[in-house]
Structure 1
């Protein structure tokens, strides 16, 4: 059903969007998807390690302020993503569409979860709460002088603007990554990044080595015929009369068999 839905939606998407031909104005799409998969794998491993530090080893780390259920859910999602990203990287190397297509679905789910988390942080939890936490921390360290701090409104506005800029940047980067991965899927489907015909030949590496090695045999150089030991009439000069050759004579160019007829 997923394949049918993708095949039905492909003509509509192709009329609206066209796959990109390069990544970051110079790199190939294949290289870009590989970089995205590696970076995504590193992020998944980082969040799993963070959750283990908070929940198992009781050492506060990045997501220590999250609810334990939220940490467990996000850790489970990242654990699912580790084999998917590895499979996507192998799909990029071997040019397998189904691997990259599954990773595209997982990347879309990641994008939706990130959007939901950023909307919750920016709208439900006001960024100004972080300002109050910073002011209270500075007041505890600086003493009663910091109690009369009057720049909370300015810091609140600065934090809000910074959070909106950061959210916009993250959304643009993730949308671009989705576009690159989708372009890779379309290129493989169209055959531009699919397996080449030469890959269907078994032991093709040996054939390429034979074709790419320097020429040898009697045509390798001007003295190649003397050193290649190609069967010739010597010492049977006439084919029917077998002679013992001409012992004691010097060889021509250091060879052992010579054409003397």
Structure 2
């Protein structure tokens, strides 16, 4: 079985990476950064986002597994002191008759259109945000090609279900189980008065529906796809929909989503 590792770069994560390589070599696992079957993320959720963006071109042929080296991460099943147990699980469940359980989560597909008509497509694991660099953003939001609202405020966040526990939650968005194929729009400090009006609450769309966000004035914008920022001055529109591709996470043991939520936000519980 071939694997790759991406770590956060701090001392602990580098030490764990070295330990994983040593244990994996002893068990006959092959380190292959080009065509891995499993990608191990060592760090936090930000490290997993980085690993996802690095290997998003191979989503059909690999799975991800996370080791957290600080606070509990939503994408991490394993603790820093469980490297040996993880390597053993990777070996045992990749025998000829054994296969690890994989869970698939939906992604966001973004089609960015520029004023000159050029297009580019991206996918996001957590969220996509659009904000103005200089002043209030003015954007038209369509749902399924019908005008829904004219937005004025600090910005807009579109999240996946697995990303609903991140920035989306801080904006008052709902936490959605990551197996539900949906995308969620949450407003960032919208302006609501007798002149300007938005819905003012999160919106969840199912698969096969889409949001279109149109830039409605000349404005310098900051687009963020997961952890990557992109300043843009000539944006025409962004179409947001549930992607056709999913991301796969390897589960060598149970760790239910609501247990993660309870531990992260309520501060108690165990990994059962």
TM-score over 0.5 (shorter chain): no
Task: Pick the TM interval, shorter chain.
Answer: under 0.3
Q: Could you say which structure has the higher strand fraction?
A: 2
Could you tell me the TM-score, scaled by structure 2's length?
Answer: 0.21
Higher relative contact order (CA 8 A, sep 6+): 2
Could you say which structure has the larger radius of gyration?
1
Could you tell me the TM-score, scaled by structure 1's length?
Answer: 0.22
